Amino acid sequence: KLFSNAIFSKPEEAEILNNIWRSVYCKFRVKGSKEDWKGYQETLYTRVDMVARWLERNPNRWVAPPHLYFSPENKRNGFKKTYPWFLKQQILKREIRNRILIQKTEKEWITHNKGEGKHKHKTRLQLFRLQQQRLESYGDEALIRAYEKSLHSMVNT
């Protein structure tokens, strides 16, 4: 995807694949289940897509040639640099999702206090349990803490 227009000789291709094997897959020395490896592969695809989109947004951007880009010695502008970028994106996505979910719960409390909305016939405890169960299904402790903080301010106002 990143080097789709490039044509490589057999030795170049072998060097590139060897660098990918060494740097990206760590020579397959990492232990893990089949599901772990599938998840890792999906993460790799996502990282490649991130770089491809980044290149598409500005034609003046570039990526090092593949034998350098995937080299394990390339600490400055190689593929390994995309991992922190990927993590940052995942954290931002989770924070945005959490903010949206908290806003939804706050709106439910406001409409419940007005005697409106689909939860108007529930008690405050029932609404709390419903929201708590819904948010716990995400398995995110930060979301639960944000909900508790939001709930504290909503109930005490």
Q: State the Cα–Cα distance between residues 21 and 61, nearest whole angstrom.
A: 26
**DSSP secondary-structure letter at 72?**
T
Distance of CA 34 to the CA centre of its chain: 21
Alpha helices in 20-123 (DSSP H): 34-57, 66-69, 82-113
- Its sign, for the CA torsion 59, 61, 65, 69, is negative
Give the per-residue pLDDT at 5. Answer: 84
Prediction pTM value = 0.75
* Model pLDDT, residue 157: 65
The values of phi and psi at residue 71, to 5°, are -70, 135
Side-chain half-sphere exposure of 132, counting CA atoms within 13 A: 9
Assess contact for 81 and 111: CB atoms under 8 A: no
Nearest to 149 by CA among 105, 96, 113: 105
CA of 3: how far to CAs of 40, 110, 154, in Å?
21, 53, 53
Series of mean pLDDT values for 10-residue runs along the chain (157 residues): 88 92 86 90 94 91 90 89 94 96 94 91 93 95 94 80
CA–CA distances in Å: residue 63 to residues 44, 45, 60, 120? 16, 16, 10, 56
| Domain residue spans of the chain | 10-77, 88-155
- Helix, strand, coil share of the chain (percent; to 5): 70, 0, 30
